[in-house]
Chain A
């Protein structure tokens, strides 16, 4: 069953003009319009995610992958103009046009986003448990014991020591903070989790454990995911299918192993060959 369907996704920073789309993209070699200076962060993006699937999005800086991920997760950047259509199973409207309440309700219980920068996703003054509880409380949970029990479950699933549950999140290590983000994302059993550069800021060994944990939980819970990363290893580990982005456009897509072993597009070949 298709969980998420996106078509014609386009995000532009700046005034925009009639030349923006023609003068940016893969063939133009830039994502900035030479006429009006607007940055076409992503354009022409179509994709879909089915229940239980993991979609990877790879690209380098400026590829538009984070922009696209944010749009899919219904995050709104007031500085950008976003167009296109995002459909979500069970809702017939374009999610980019819905009111705040609907969007908030979806983001609380159906589509979760794990931010690249911890500060955007967690309140460091709250306890680790509190950050996870916030999702539940916002979704209307009103039994303290139920909330505690669920927080414990999530801490165990994401391998955070229970003894730290009531410590302020700012006292956690980077890896633990990332786990809290993931626990929080999974709290209300969403259908889709979007991870934006999940390994940012983490030591290599910590990255590995966090990714493994996510992989295990994703498979156990059958939750669909979109994983954005510049790191091909992350995508190879987690994703069934992958999109490759450059200068704001999707230039190639397919099964992850096919992209890694039989890349077609010149840029994809360069990318694959660049892996150390």
Chain B
């Protein structure tokens, strides 16, 4: 009942049709009836980019603080989103706060543009922020990604938003957030080093596969989100801005352009990226990209093949197998992650 109704007192309310302020009238007999009545996408009445201006302002302020203190986790009041926690609500809030009507938006999930989740996020942005969307990394202004950094080099005009499940690298060695906050404040990372030491004791080398601990600007220990080791080096001295956002944990942190990001390692047990000995992508033949195993049933047997994880780059490579990762830039031989021409991480298979 609206206040108008209460005040009038004598108005008769038709139970079939409800009156709402600024909304769409729909039948109320049943959920199906209401859904059948809706003709638009149902986002009428929402602010530009879904979030209200105050929220976007707060998220941007958090991002600015994060940029000012690279690697430091900045708390923010994470809003409920039309997506469950754990599915990128932090990333969405960051992206929606960054996007403007002239921006082009790319969303990938584990390297793939086509996943249901990526598609939904893309659609939400297109519907509420009226942005163009793309699968082409080189054409995007804002890229939101879960657990990958694209193969193609990002420029200083692009912004990368990474979805983060667990924001604190120290959580592995101590579940107490209060204790960890003190450690970050005092740059007291001894326990993480012991974790690395014990990893080497057990495996002979540092065997951490994802969420590899890194030092940002020589000051804060950062969890780079569950990107593979392959992608960690791309954060170091990058041209682009990386925002890392967590919706459930309500924290945002950032790696500004040209900031040092150093994976923790011993002098005599170096940081190494994943090795794909002798493998190539079965679709495009690349040997210098991050590959994933694909098992397919083929005449009763399971066949394991390798494929590029970055599906949009793979598509480009299928057209042009020699396409370099910095093909879209004016300068050549850009050092960015394994497999770009000048990178000393190689990425070539043995």
Query: Within residues 182 to 201 of chain B, which ones have a CB less than 8 A from any CB in chain A?
Result: 186-188, 190-191, 193-194, 197-198, 200-201
Chain B residue numbers with a CB within 8 Å of A273 are none
**From B194, B268, B269, residue with most partner A Cβ within 10 Å:** B194
Chain B residue numbers with a CB within 8 Å of A137 are 190, 193-194, 197
User: Are the C-beta atoms of B267 and A143 separated by less than 8 Å?
Assistant: yes
| With contact pairs A104-B186, A137-B190 given, residues A127 and B201 touching in the complex (Cβ less than 8 Å) | yes
Chain B residue numbers with a CB within 8 Å of A127 are 198, 201
User: Are the C-beta atoms of B188 and A104 separated by less than 8 Å?
Assistant: yes
> Is B266 in contact with chain A by the CB < 8 A criterion?
yes
Question: CB < 8 Å: which of A101, A123, A133, A144 contacts B268?
Answer: A144
B237-269 vs A, Cβ < 8 Å mask (1 yes, 0 no): 000000000000000000000000000001111
User: Are the C-beta atoms of A134 and B201 separated by less than 8 Å?
Assistant: no
Query: Within residues 125 to 173 of chain A, which ones have a CB less than 8 A from any CB in chain B?
Result: 126-127, 129-131, 133-135, 137-138, 142-145, 147, 166
What is the bound-complex CA distance between A134 and B188, given in angstroms?
11
| With contact pairs A100-B186, A104-B188, A166-B201 given, residues A133 and B194 touching in the complex (Cβ less than 8 Å) | yes
User: Are the C-beta atoms of B194 and A126 separated by less than 8 Å?
Assistant: yes
User: Are the C-beta atoms of A130 and B186 separated by less than 8 Å?
Assistant: no
User: Are the C-beta atoms of B191 and A134 separated by less than 8 Å?
Assistant: yes
Question: CB < 8 Å: which of A104, A131, A144 contacts B269?
Answer: A144
Chain B residue numbers with a CB within 8 Å of A123 are 191, 194
**From B191, B197, B200, residue with most partner A Cβ within 10 Å:** B197
A126 CB to closest chain B CB, in angstroms? 6
Query: Within residues 52 to 85 of chain B, which ones have a CB less than 8 A from any CB in chain A?
Result: none
Question: CB < 8 Å: which of A100, A131, A134 contacts B193?
Answer: A134
Chain A residue numbers with a CB within 8 Å of B186 are 100-101, 104
User: Are the C-beta atoms of A130 and B188 separated by less than 8 Å?
Assistant: no
Chain B residue numbers with a CB within 8 Å of A129 are 197, 201
User: Are the C-beta atoms of A142 and B190 separated by less than 8 Å?
Assistant: no
Number of interface residues of A (CB under 8 A): 20
Query: Within residues 74 to 130 of chain A, which ones have a CB less than 8 A from any CB in chain B?
Result: 100-101, 104, 123, 126-127, 129-130
What is the bound-complex CA distance between A218 and B266, given in angstroms?
31
Chain B residue numbers with a CB within 8 Å of A143 are 266-268
A208 CB to closest chain B CB, in angstroms? 31
A206-224 vs B, Cβ < 8 Å mask (1 yes, 0 no): 0000000000000000000
A253 CB to closest chain B CB, in angstroms? 36
B178 CB to closest chain A CB, in angstroms? 13
B169 CB to closest chain A CB, in angstroms? 15
| With contact pairs A142-B266, A143-B267 given, residues A130 and B194 touching in the complex (Cβ less than 8 Å) | yes
Chain A residue numbers with a CB within 8 Å of B188 are 104, 138
Chain A residue numbers with a CB within 8 Å of B266 are 142-144, 147
User: Are the C-beta atoms of A138 and B190 separated by less than 8 Å?
Assistant: yes
Question: CB < 8 Å: which of A100, A126, A131, A144 contacts B200?
Answer: A144
User: Are the C-beta atoms of A147 and B197 separated by less than 8 Å?
Assistant: yes
What is the bound-complex CA distance between A131 and B193, given in angstroms?
11
**From A127, A129, A133, A137, residue with most partner B Cβ within 10 Å:** A137
| With contact pairs A101-B186, A143-B268, A144-B269 given, residues A133 and B191 touching in the complex (Cβ less than 8 Å) | no
B42 CB to closest chain A CB, in angstroms? 50
Chain B residue numbers with a CB within 8 Å of A138 are 188, 190, 193
| With contact pairs A127-B198, A144-B200 given, residues A134 and B190 touching in the complex (Cβ less than 8 Å) | yes
Chain B residue numbers with a CB within 8 Å of A145 are 268
User: Are the C-beta atoms of B190 and A126 separated by less than 8 Å?
Assistant: no
Chain A residue numbers with a CB within 8 Å of B200 are 144
8 contacts between A and B (CB under 8 A): A126-B198, A127-B201, A130-B194, A130-B198, A131-B194, A137-B194, A142-B267, A144-B267
| A-to-B contact residues, CB < 8 Å | 100-101, 104, 123, 126-127, 129-131, 133-135, 137-138, 142-145, 147, 166
The 9 closest A-B pairs by CB, nearest first: A138-B190, A137-B193, A144-B266, A143-B267, A130-B194, A134-B194, A144-B269, A142-B267, A134-B190
